[in-house]
Amino acid sequence: MQIVHMSDLHVGARPHNEKIIYNDIIDAFNESMDLVIREKPDSLIIAGDLFDSPKPDNDSLKIVINRFKEVTNSGIPIILAHGEHDTPGRKESTILQVLSSAIPNVYAPLYESKSNEDENTMFLNVVKESKISLNKLDIYVYPYKKVNLDMRKTLADKLLKIYDKEIKSSNNKTIFVAHFSIDPYLIFDAVADVQKLPNANYIALGHIHERIINKKDKFFVYPGSLYPLSISEMKNKERGPILVDLSGDEPDIQELKINIRDNLFARISIEEEKDILNKLRAGIEVKMKGILNKNKEPIIYLDIEKTKDVYSRSIIQAITKIENEFNVHIIPELRNIEKKESSYNVKALNRGSLDPFNILINELKLSDNTAKLLLDLRDMALEGDESKVIEIFDKLSKESLDELKRLI
């Protein structure tokens, strides 16, 4: 009895508006589906964020539909959990429910409460309707709702107890699937601690983009994202599906690896225009020594500090030359260093001292990235864009938590 567990595929994502990353994420998805078909598990479980958006672009949707049909035609049912990225903010059918309706043997349970239900009946129905039974295997898919964190904690406190009771009463092997973070692995938006997870034979989780394999007490796994979606995720080298054998008393897991291009980060400082090419070459040469995938040109994120006398145009022109010289793809971020201005706006040197960005970095000593995220959070909250607010909170928890703790 085997399953394949994946999460956080984010098909359709285009960080930095880079087509090369969009294509890489598609390639990672396709290679993962090839592995699933090769391994022929009893089911494929995707624990949330299959897509990067609740309304994915048509090309991404077409690719996913075609590959899912290949998987199900190979006799492998697919179970999809909802995540924050593939769940719309208002009450309407989700893209995962559309896939479930369109492709036989694709399941995406998401219970909708009835107007005449009392709370206890509703919670019990949520759990019962989330159960999928396949060949002596009971799979329970926890629902994702776009509500505030306090409400998600309240729901989890009530639902997890019912899931645990239902799972304990099962005569089959059991899997609990959910897309949320847990304490102590991501405290910022955790809905529960580890001990409150149901006692299933295997707990398939998603949302945390780092790979976590926990075999103590509760056996749970976060596979991690298929592709690094930010600089902070580059340190995680494990990429690919998790193959789980449930035949024994304890799950036996195998990490299936996919082949992605190297994503690297370098920081350089340029004080004079005449040094631009030499500085770029020196920074790139150091990173090229660590290249693992020789078949694909690496992506190098360049954090470039420059004085106001060095023109951005000159650096961008030099980057094009360096890309051809080293066969790399460079994503630059230019920062002026005299007044510690940065990525929020290259022209920030002209802004007044009461600029909130200046206050955050100069008075509160926050990094430029954290300051930008906080201002983006303010703007999205004022616009009422709940999806973006949740996304920014997620980035803050992953990239800036230690920095923000310092202010408390």
Residues 29-51: what's their mean pLDDT? 96
Residue 57: which CATH number? 3.60.21.10
Residues of the domain holding 48: 2-255
Looking at the domain assignment, is residue 383 inside a domain? Answer: yes
- In a shared domain, residues 178 and 293: no
Q: What is the pLDDT of residue 54?
A: 92
Looking at the domain assignment, is residue 217 inside a domain? Answer: yes
- In a shared domain, residues 138 and 171: yes
Looking at the domain assignment, is residue 345 inside a domain? Answer: no
Q: Which of 338, 360, 382 is the last residue of a domain?
A: 338
Looking at the domain assignment, is residue 157 inside a domain? Answer: yes
Looking at the domain assignment, is residue 344 inside a domain? Answer: no
More confident residue, 238 or 42: 42
Q: What is the pLDDT of residue 355?
A: 60
Angle of helix 276-288 relative to helix 312-326, nearest 10 degrees, comes to 40
Dist CA 361 CA 367 (whole Å): 6
Looking at the domain assignment, is residue 42 inside a domain? Answer: yes
For the chain, what is the domain count? 3
Q: What is the pLDDT of residue 110?
A: 87
| Residue 49 burial (CB count, 10 A) | 26
- In a shared domain, residues 312 and 282: yes
Q: Which of 338, 370, 395 is the last residue of a domain?
A: 338
Note whether 372 and 343 are within 8 A (CB).
Answer: yes
Q: Which of 219, 236, 255 is the last residue of a domain?
A: 255
- In a shared domain, residues 232 and 130: yes
Q: How does pLDDT run across 195-215, given as a tens digit for each residue?
A: 999 999 999 999 999 999 998
Looking at the domain assignment, is residue 374 inside a domain? Answer: yes
Please provide the average confidence, as pLDDT, over all residues in the chain.
87
Residue 328: which CATH number? 3.30.160
Tokens 């430029």 belong to 368
Residue 335: beta bridge partners?
305
Q: Is the pLDDT of residue 113 over 80?
A: no
More confident residue, 408 or 295: 295
- In a shared domain, residues 290 and 356: no
Q: How far is CA 161 from the centre of its chain?
A: 27
- Name the residue among 363, 398, 372 with its Cα closest to residue 190: 398
Q: What is the pLDDT of residue 311?
A: 87
Q: What is the pLDDT of residue 349?
A: 37
Q: How does pLDDT run across 308-317, given as a tens digit for each residue?
A: 888 888 999 9
- In a shared domain, residues 88 and 211: yes
Q: How does pLDDT run across 337-373, given as a tens digit for each residue?
A: 764 444 444 333 343 445 676 677 776 778 877 888 8
Looking at the domain assignment, is residue 364 inside a domain? Answer: yes
- In a shared domain, residues 215 and 277: no
Q: Model pTM?
A: 0.79
Q: Is the pLDDT of residue 83 over 60?
A: yes
Q: What is the pLDDT of residue 342?
A: 46
Q: What is the pLDDT of residue 384?
A: 64
- In a shared domain, residues 188 and 292: no
| 397 confidence band (pLDDT: 50, 70, 90) | confident
* Helix or strand holding residue 206 (H, E): strand 202-206
Report the b/e string of 231-263 with b at 16+ CB within 10 A.
bbbeeeeebbbbbbebeeeebebeebebebbbb
- In a shared domain, residues 186 and 123: yes
More confident residue, 288 or 219: 219
Residue 326: DSSP 8-state: H
- In a shared domain, residues 206 and 227: yes
- In a shared domain, residues 214 and 175: yes
Q: Is the pLDDT of residue 401 over 70?
A: yes
- In a shared domain, residues 53 and 83: yes
Dist CA 13 CA 56 (whole Å): 9
